[in-house]
Structure 1
C-alpha cells in the first residue's frame, strides 16, 4: 500500500455501520435545516456584526474540533485540555509577537505540538487512561501558564498579527484558515497511510497490532495532529482578541467535543471524518449564536447544547444495537 492509498477497514458489521451513518446524517441534516430556518427568521442573525462574530467563533471552535476528531477517531475518546492548550499557545504567540507574526505563530504551534505529543506518548507507550491524562495535563497547563504569566493577560505587540484579522476578497482570514484546515485534515484521513492506520487502530487496536501497525506511534501521531490544529487555533485566538489569556480557552473543549459527536464521529473511535466534524461545528456555532441573540445565559446554553450532545450519543447507541 503506497503513502496515498486509503482503504476502509473491513468488518462483518459494515452494512449496519453504513446504515447508522445514513440515519445520523438524515437526523442531523433535518435538524440543521430547522436550525438554519430559525436562524434566518431571528432578528439580528444575518446582520454583519453577528455574521463576523459567528465566523470567528466557528473558526476557533472548528480548528480545535478538527484536532479532537483525530484523537476520537484513534479510539481515545476525547481530550479535556485542548482548550487550555489553545489558550497557552495564544499567550506565547502574544508574548513573542514583537518578533514578528510568523515567528510567534510557529512558536505557538510548536508549544501545542509539544504538549499534545507528550500526552500521546504517555497514552501510547504506557497505555494510560486518555481521560485521566488529559485532566492531569489540564491542571499542569493551567498551573504553569498562570505561574509564568503571573496571572496576567499577555498583549500582542503592534499589528504583527493583522494578517489573521484581514479579509481576502471579502472573506475573513480565520474562515479561510478553518477551510484550509478542514481540507488538510480530510485529505490526511482519506488519502494517507496514517489516516488508514488511525481508523484501523480506532476500530480494532488488537487487529491493528496483529497486522503489524504500531499502535503507539499512531496514537502519538494523532495527538500531534491535534496539537497542530490546536496551535493554529491559538494563533487565531491571539489575533482576534489582541492578547492571550488562559480564560480565552474556557468552553472550547466542550464545544469541540459537541461538534465532533454531533457531526457523527463514533465516541469509541474508528468511524467519522473531519468533513462531518465541520458540519457539527456549524451546527454548534449557529446554535450558540442563536442562544446569545435570545439572551439566554451561559448555564442555559450549556444545558441545551448538552441535550443535543446527549441526543447524538443516544442516536449512535441506538444505531449499534
Structure 2
C-alpha cells in the first residue's frame, strides 16, 4: 500500500461484508459531510460544498434543501429539526443553527471555533470538534461556549495538508467521548482518566458506536466502513463495490438494525473524476457486518 498526504498509514484489514443499498445519489462534485436521523425514517445531510442541508426521505426522495450561505458541517437531530454548525473553514464567525424544512434560525455564535466538524450530544449540551485548532468545544444548555479539551493529538498532522485533526465524535456506552484524529490515523477516547489512544494506524473521518461498544468508522480516502470491536479486531463491512467511495460519516438507524453512510464520490482523492455522492444503507442483521 502506498501512503501519501491523503493516505496516512492505515493497516489493511479483512473483509466482512454486509448487504448495502444506495438510498440516494447527488451529482459528482457534491461533498457530503455529516448526517443525522430525521422523522419517519428520513435523514438530514450536510453538504459543505453546496452550503446547504438536504432532508432526504427513507426512500431516497429529496424532501427539501435548506441553503445556509456558508458551509454546513456538524449536525445532530433535535425532534423534527436539526442543529447544524456552519461557517468558513479557518476563519471566525462560526454559528450553531436550527434547520427546519422551511429554513433556519440562528441558535448561537461559536466564538473561538475555527473549523467545526463532528458534533454530538453529551451531558447537558453539545460537544463540537474543532478540527483545525485541535479542540473539543462544549456548548451547554444555558448557551455557554467553552473548551473541553485542547491537545496536540487533536491537531492536524500537517496544518497545510488535506486531512484534518479531530473529526468524528460519538458517545460510548459508558458515556465517554470517542473520536477520530484523521491525519494522525488515531481513534481516541476521552473519559475520566483523560485522553487515551484506542487505535493507531486507523484513518477515520466520522464514526458511530453500537450499544456493545463496537465502533463503525468511515475511512474516507480508504473507501470503506470499518468495524472496530472492543477487543481491537478490525474488519471492513463495506467498500467501493458497495458504492462506498469517499465515505465521510456513518450513523446507526434509530432501531440499530443498519448503518447509514454519506460519501463524496471520492472527490477529495480524485477531484477531476469523482463518482456521484451517495447515501448508503448497510444492513447489520444479515450475517456480515454484525458486531
Q: Considering the TM-score relative to the shorter chain, is it more than 0.5?
A: no
Taking structure 1 as the reference length, the TM-score comes to: 0.25
Higher-strand-fraction structure = 2
Taking structure 2 as the reference length, the TM-score comes to: 0.27
Higher-helix-fraction structure = 1
Flag the structure with larger Rg. Answer: 1
**Higher relative contact order structure (alpha carbons within 8 Å, sequence separation ≥ 6):** 1
